[in-house]
Structure 1
Amino acid sequence: MASNAASRRDEDEVCPVCKSSRYLNPDMRFLINPECYHKMCESCVDRIFSSGPANCPVAGCRKTLRKNRFRKQTFEDIGVEREVDIRRRVMHILNRREEEFDSKRAYDDFLEQREDIIANLVSRIDVAKTEAQLQKYAADNMQSIRANQAIEAEEASSFQARMSLEQEEARLRRQAVRQEYETERREIQAGREDFLTRLASGSSTDAAAIAREGHKVLLKKSSARRSEEERIRQKQAALRLDNKRVSNLSTVEQAGAADTGLVKGLRKIKTPEPEKPYDPFMGYVPEKRDYYSLQSYYPSQYLDPIRNDARMLAGGYDLREYYSRTLLEAFAGLSCFVGEEISQRDAANTSKSTATEGASMAVEGGENTA
C-alpha cells in the first residue's frame, strides 16, 4: 500500500523549471542543491549550470548555485534532508570529545549548546549570528578540529576492521560447528552399525559389555565436546576483556587552546616544554666554580712584567692557569664546616683522654695490689 503510494508520488513529480514529469519520462532523475534545496531534473542542471555558477531558476530564489554541489536526494522529505545536512556540518565543526572537558556536566552543557545551534539553523533563527560564531570557532580551533576528525576516522576504520573480524570469526565458528556435527553424525552412524554387527555375530552375554563400551565412548565424546566449548568461551571472554582494556587505556592527544570562546568547560592544555639542546658535558662547565668566577685579568705588580714578557709566554705559560690554581686554593676551604670538625675533634680527644685515664688507673690499681 505504502509502496504504491510512493510510486504514484514519484510519477507525479514535475520539474519546476522545464515542467517535465516522471510519468512521461520514467528515466528522469531529480537533483537537489544544499544551498536552497530546490529540486530540478538532471537535464536542467546540465543545461543551466554546465557553463559555470548561476542563479537558481526557481521563482523567488536568488541563491547562486554550482553544478558540483548538486546531488541525489536521500530522504523523501526535504525538511529532513536539510536538517541532516545541517546537523552533519555543525557536528563536523563542533566535534569536541568527552575527555576534553573537566566534568560530565561541562560535556552535557556542550551537547546542549550544539543542539541549540542546530535548532537555530534548522528553524532559521539568528542564522547570520550563528554562522558567524561557527566560522570564528572553526578558524580559531582548526588544529583541534582536524585532530578530532582524524581520531574519528581512525575509530571508524578500527570499528569496521573489528566488525569484519567478528564476522569472519562467526563464519569460521559456524563452519567448525557444521563440520563437527557432520563428523559426529558419521561417527554415531558408524558406531551404531558396528554395534549391530557385533551383536549379530556375538553371544547374548556379550551384549551388555558391548552396550557399556558404546556408552563409555559416547560419554568421552560428549565430555571432550563440552571441554572444547568451554575453552572457546573462555578465549572469547579473554578477547573481549582485552579489547575493553585497550579501549580504556587508549589516550587521545588533543591540540588547541583551552579558551575557545564558544565552547566552555574545556581542560587546560599543557604545552610540553621544548627539548633542550644536547650537552655532551651533562651540564659540566670546565671553568665554572661555585664560589668564584675566573676573570681574564687581575692587577698585580708582580704579574705585570710576566704578562708583558714574551720569553715567559713563549714556552706556553698561561697566567689564567695561575689565576685558577690560586683562587681554587683560596676558596677550597669554603666547602668544609669548621664547627662540625671542631666538635668531632673535641669528642675524639675527650674519648681518648678518658681511655688514657682509665688505663692509667688500671695500672695503678695493679701496682698497689702487688
Structure 2
Amino acid sequence: MDEEIKCPHCGSTKYRNPSLKLMVNVCGHALCETCVDRLFMKGSGQCPQCNVNLRRTNFRLQLFEDHLVEKEVDIRKRILKDFNKKQEDFASLEEFNNYLELIETIVFNLTNDVDILATNKLIDNYKKENATQIIKSRSRLSKDEELIEELLEQERQQTLLRTQLIISENKESAKSKVKLRESLADELMFSDASAQQILANHNNEMKVQSSEMTKNMDVLSLTAKQQTKAFSTGILVGKGSNVFDQNVRQPEGKSYVYKSPHFEINGPDCPHLVAIQSNGYLNNVRPASGQDLAGGFLTHFPCHRALQEAFCGLYFKI
C-alpha cells in the first residue's frame, strides 16, 4: 500500500521516500510537502492540476487516499458551518428533509465541479438572508447534542464517584490487612496452637475478608448509580423529553404472544430447509466456501428461496 502513495507532481513515492507526506488544499488535489514548499514559496500560487489559486497556509495533511473524498470532507465541513439549522427550526419534517437535500446538492456540485458559479451564488444568498440565524445556531446545540452532553457529564460524575469509593475501600482494605498480619504475628508468638493451624485460620480469615470486599464494592457501585439517578446507559432521569422516569409504572395488559406468519403461495408445499440436502436439491448448487461458512452462509438458504419462488403461484387461476 505504501508503494502506491505517490506525489502526482514530482512522482516521489512512499517506497523511495518513507517520510513522504501528501497535502491537500481546497481543490482536493494532492501534493507532497516538498512540492508545496517549493511551489508556494511566496505564500500563494496555482494548483498544478487545476490552476486554482491556492494559499500555502490552507494546505493540510491528506487523510484519505481518494482526493475526491478528501475534497468532499473539507467542503462538507465548510458548508455545515453556515448551513447549521436544526430540525426544530422547521415547521415540518418535509421542510427539514428538503433543507438536508439542498445541502447534499451543494456538496455534490462543489465536489464534482457542477454549476460552480450558480452554487456559490446560492451559498452567498443564503448567508445574506440567514446571517442572524447562522450566528445563533453556531452557539446552540440540538436535542441530540444536548442529550450527548448530559450522558458525558453523567459518566464523568459516576467515574469520579466510583474512583472516590474505590480509594476509600482500598484504604480500609489496607488497614484490615495490617491488622491481620499483626494478629498472625501475635498468635504465632503467644498462642499454644500449632503453626499450621494458625496459618490455616489466617487463610480462612483472608478469604472471608476478600469476599466481604467484593460485596462491599458491589454495594458501593449500586449506591453510586442510585446517587446519580441514572440508568445503566448513563441517561439522567428527568433531564428532557428523550429520557424516562424509572418510577413511572407501565400500563398492564396481556403479554405479547408471537404467531408465526402464514403465507398463501398458491402452489405445492416447498421442501423444508432440512430436507433440501437429503432430496438432492444441492447436487447442482455451488458449495459454500470457507469464507461463506465463516460468515454463517449456507447453500441451503439461496436454494430454499429459489424453490419458494419456483413453487409460488403454480396453482393460481385467473
Specify the TM-score bucket, using the shorter chain as the normaliser. Answer: 0.5 to 0.7
Question: Shift in Å at residue 142 of structure 1?
Answer: 1.4
Measure, in 2, the Cα distance between the counterparts of 1:175 and 1:127.
58
Measure, in 1, the Cα distance between the counterparts of 2:58 and 2:214.
64
Question: What residue number does 1:80 align with?
Answer: 69
Higher RCO by CA contacts (8 Å cutoff, separation 6 or greater)? 1
Question: Shift in Å at residue 186 of structure 1?
Answer: 6.4
Question: What residue number does 2:54 align with?
Answer: 65
Question: Shift in Å at residue 145 of structure 1?
Answer: 0.7
Q: Does the 8 Å CA contact 1:32/1:40 hold for their aligned counterparts? A: yes
Q: TM-score when scaled to structure 1?
A: 0.47
Identity %: 28
Measure, in 2, the Cα distance between the counterparts of 1:244 and 1:19.
57
**Pair 79,176 (structure 1): closer, same or farther in 2 beyond 3 Å:** same
Question: What residue number does 2:45 align with?
Answer: 54
Deviations along 1:140-160, one digit per CA (max 9) or x if unpaired, are 21121122112259x989978
Question: What residue number does 1:146 align with?
Answer: 135
Deviations along 1:29-85, one digit per CA (max 9) or x if unpaired, are 3322212x2222223322322225333233xx2322222222211212212111111
Q: Does the 8 Å CA contact 1:15/1:21 hold for their aligned counterparts? A: no
Deviations along 1:119-138, one digit per CA (max 9) or x if unpaired, are 33334433332221111101
Larger helix fraction of residues: 1
Residue 125 of structure 2, aligned match among 108, 126, 136: 136
Question: What residue number does 2:224 align with?
Answer: 232
Measure, in 1, the Cα distance between the counterparts of 2:8 and 2:218.
67
Identify which range, 171-180 or 139-148, moves more after superposition: 171-180
The CA RMSD over aligned residues, in Å, is 4.6
**Pair 125,63 (structure 1): closer, same or farther in 2 beyond 3 Å:** closer
Identify which range, 93-102 or 163-172, moves more after superposition: 163-172
> Are 1:8 and 2:11 counterparts?
no
Measure, in 1, the Cα distance between the counterparts of 2:212 and 2:12.
76
Question: What residue number does 1:44 align with?
Answer: 35
Question: What residue number does 1:105 align with?
Answer: 94
**Pair 28,237 (structure 1): closer, same or farther in 2 beyond 3 Å:** same
How many pairs align?
224
Measure, in 2, the Cα distance between the counterparts of 1:114 and 1:158.
25
Long gaps (5+) in structure 1 = 203-213, 249-370
Identify which range, 40-49 or 93-102, moves more after superposition: 40-49
Deviations along 1:83-123, one digit per CA (max 9) or x if unpaired, are 11122122122110122122333323322332233233334
Measure, in 2, the Cα distance between the counterparts of 1:54 and 1:224.
68
Q: TM-score when scaled to structure 2?
A: 0.53
Long gaps (5+) in structure 2 = 194-204, 244-318
**Greater radius of gyration (CA):** 1
Measure, in 2, the Cα distance between the counterparts of 1:182 and 1:150.
45
